[in-house]
């Protein structure tokens, strides 16, 4: 298996984003577009070198990568600066002098939905084809911004026409072109180097289009291979903030359907938000209008929602139930816990077999600090209780309805009132 250098094109400003932020630093699922691309690249075993071409606000893009996306010892990420933004052909030219391997993968930093599995399969395909160039294509409706694949009468890839140049084609042929170019290519390094200089500047955009290489190779009777994707969403590129919204929907759908395949029941995927990376055990049921943020771990056989909000740092163990209008953040909830109605649980550790009554509030913030609460096994928190953190509720203790708990409650003790005071000491263990 041959090794590859990956060139990631991340130099553009992104005029249509209507923002001073470099396009590749706009966020999707709380991470910049470029982060998603690099994360997938790092999982492809053939990739042994990663070069990122920067341009617009290069220092900002490079600083982000160094701090957040470049921590991989075996494959250090390097940078190449495109001093003038003269298009994708010029961007690849800027990077060639640093390429170490005989095979080159080129892809865009603003296409965050591509997967490591697809890239892995594509590179294997390229090696099997022994072509000058391979590209990833997909079938999409005619109305999109991607370049169109032009094939000759024998079905060979002949050229790529960018949207700006499609008016050179007759209308009926233009409308029939459904196969699009992804912007992802695999090249033989020597063939790439020999032919880049042959690209002419596009007069309409004043740029050098890497796509022109396809026609140059075709004129040399070179083998050009197209790897057709079944899922065109993988090559979805970001050009506008509306595109970001659409990409986020696609990513959420991926997450949800992956969880369903793993044995999670999601009653209505369209009304459920689950951040990517969420871990959920088998036989858990999620009802509509449940919102689960990043870095949440949920056990098996749980019941969640409807109208539930699990925020970052939540851990929920097996067979627990969280219901209507419950919000949880930075908390660990044990097995067989019930909090089924109207509760806020923040910075709390709840042991197993605890009941949290309707209207319970864990008052974790004192105006300066987020304080901790511990509720031990078998405790019963009465409806409308307020626990003023930091506080500990002992095993099998009870807080009466409407209690405001300001002090620790010993095990098997019942407290009531505002502020809560001991009502029954050392009741029998339940």
pLDDT at 145: 76
DSSP-assigned letters across all residues of 400-414: -TT-EE-S-B-TT-E
Percent of the chain with pLDDT over 70: 93
Q: What mean pLDDT value characterizes the chain? A: 93
User: Do 64 and 283 form a contact (C-beta atoms < 8 A)?
Assistant: no
pLDDT grade, residue 20 (50/70/90)? very high
3-state secondary structure 299-339: CCCCEECCCEEECCCCEECCCCEEEEEEEEECCEECCCCEE
pLDDT grade, residue 162 (50/70/90)? confident
- What is the mean predicted confidence (pLDDT) over 411-427? 90
- Give Cα 100 to chain centroid, integer Å: 30
Q: Which of 23-32, 145-154, 236-245 has the lowest mean pLDDT?
A: 145-154
- Residue pLDDT, tens place only, 77-98: 999 999 999 999 999 999 999 9
Task: Answer whether residue 163 shows pLDDT above 80.
Answer: no
The phi and psi torsions of 194 (rounded to 5 degrees) equal -70, -25
CA neighbours closer than 13 Å in the CB half-sphere of residue 195: 21
First to last CA, the chain: 64
- What is the mean predicted confidence (pLDDT) over 323-327? 98
Assess whether 342 carries a catalytic annotation: no
Task: Answer whether residue 411 shows pLDDT above 60.
Answer: yes
Cis before residue 390, ω within 30 degrees of 0? yes
SS3 91: helix
Contacts of 363 (CB under 8 A, 6+ apart): 386, 387, 388, 389
pLDDT grade, residue 146 (50/70/90)? confident
The dihedral sign for the CA sequence 111, 114, 120, 126: negative
The active-site residue, picked from 126, 172, 309, 341, is 341
Task: Answer whether residue 383 shows pLDDT above 60.
Answer: yes
* Structure token digits, residue 196: 């880049």
The dihedral sign for the CA sequence 236, 237, 239, 243: positive
pLDDT at 167: 59
User: Do 323 and 339 form a contact (C-beta atoms < 8 A)?
Assistant: yes
pTM of the model: 0.87
pLDDT grade, residue 204 (50/70/90)? confident
Q: What does the CA dihedral 212, 122, 243, 270 come to, rounded to 10 degrees?
A: 160
Q: Which of 77-91, 176-190, 295-309 has the lowest mean pLDDT?
A: 176-190
- What is the mean predicted confidence (pLDDT) over 315-342? 98
Task: Answer whether residue 213 shows pLDDT above 80.
Answer: yes
- What is the mean predicted confidence (pLDDT) over 390-413? 97
67 DSSP assignment: I
pLDDT grade, residue 19 (50/70/90)? very high
Q: Which of 171-175, 252-256, 297-301 has the lowest mean pLDDT?
A: 171-175
What structural domains does the chain harbor? 4-235 (3.90.550.10), 265-424 (2.160.10.10)
Task: Answer whether residue 75 shows pLDDT above 90.
Answer: no
Q: How far is the C-alpha of 2 from the C-alpha of 68, rounded, in Å? A: 28
Task: Answer whether residue 71 shows pLDDT above 70.
Answer: no
Q: How far is the C-alpha of 206 from the C-alpha of 219, rounded, in Å? A: 23
pLDDT at 168: 58
């Amino acid at each position: 298996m041959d090794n590859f250098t990956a060139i990631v094109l991340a130099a553009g400003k992104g005029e249509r984003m209507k923002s001073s932020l470099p396009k590749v630093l706009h966020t999707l699922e709380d991470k910049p577009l470029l982060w998603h691309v690099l994360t997938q690249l790092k999982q492809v075993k053939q990739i042994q070198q990663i070069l990122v071409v920067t341009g617009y606000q290069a220092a900002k893009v490079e600083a982000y990568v160094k701090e957040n996306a470049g921590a991989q010892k075996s494959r250090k990420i390097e940078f190449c600066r495109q001093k003038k933004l003269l298009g994708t052909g010029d961007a690849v030219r800027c990077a060639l002098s640093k390429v170490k391997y005989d095979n080159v993968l080129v892809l865009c930093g603003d296409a965050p939905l591509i997967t490591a599995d697809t890239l892995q399969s594509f590179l294997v395909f390229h090696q099997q084809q022994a072509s000058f160039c391979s590209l990833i294509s997909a079938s999409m409706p005619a109305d999109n911004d991607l370049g169109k694949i032009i094939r000759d009468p024998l079905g060979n890839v002949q050229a790529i026409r960018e949207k700006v140049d499609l008016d050179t084609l007759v209308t009926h042929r233009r409308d029939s072109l459904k196969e699009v170019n992804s912007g992802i290519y695999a090249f033989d390094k020597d063939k790439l180097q020999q032919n880049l200089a042959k690209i002419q500047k596009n007069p309409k955009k004043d740029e050098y289009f890497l796509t022109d290489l396809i026609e140059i190779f075709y004129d040399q009777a070179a083998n050009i291979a197209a790897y057709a994707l079944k899922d065109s969403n993988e090559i979805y590129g970001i050009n506008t903030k509306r595109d970001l919204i659409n990409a986020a929907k696609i990513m959420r759908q991926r997450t949800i359907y992956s969880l369903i395949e793993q044995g999670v029941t999601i009653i209505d995927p369209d009304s459920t938000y689950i951040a990517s990376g969420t871990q959920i055990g088998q036989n858990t049921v999620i009802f509509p209008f449940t919102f689960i943020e990043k870095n949440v771990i949920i056990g098996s056989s749980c019941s969640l929602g409807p109208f539930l909000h699990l925020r970052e740092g939540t851990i929920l163990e097996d067979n627990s139930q969280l219901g209507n209008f419950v919000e949880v953040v930075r908390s660990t909830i044990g097995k067989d816990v019930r909090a089924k109605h109207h509760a806020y649980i923040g910075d709390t550790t709840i042991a197993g077999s605890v009941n949290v009554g309707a209207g319970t509030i864990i008052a974790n913030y004192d105006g300066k600090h987020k304080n901790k609460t511990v509720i031990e096994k078998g405790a019963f928190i009465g409806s409308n209780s307020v626990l003023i953190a930091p506080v500990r509720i002992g095993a099998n203790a009870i807080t009466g309805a409407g209690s405001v708990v300001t002090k620790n409650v010993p095990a098997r003790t019942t407290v009531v009132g505002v502020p809560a005071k001991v009502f029954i000491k050392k009741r029998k263990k339940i």
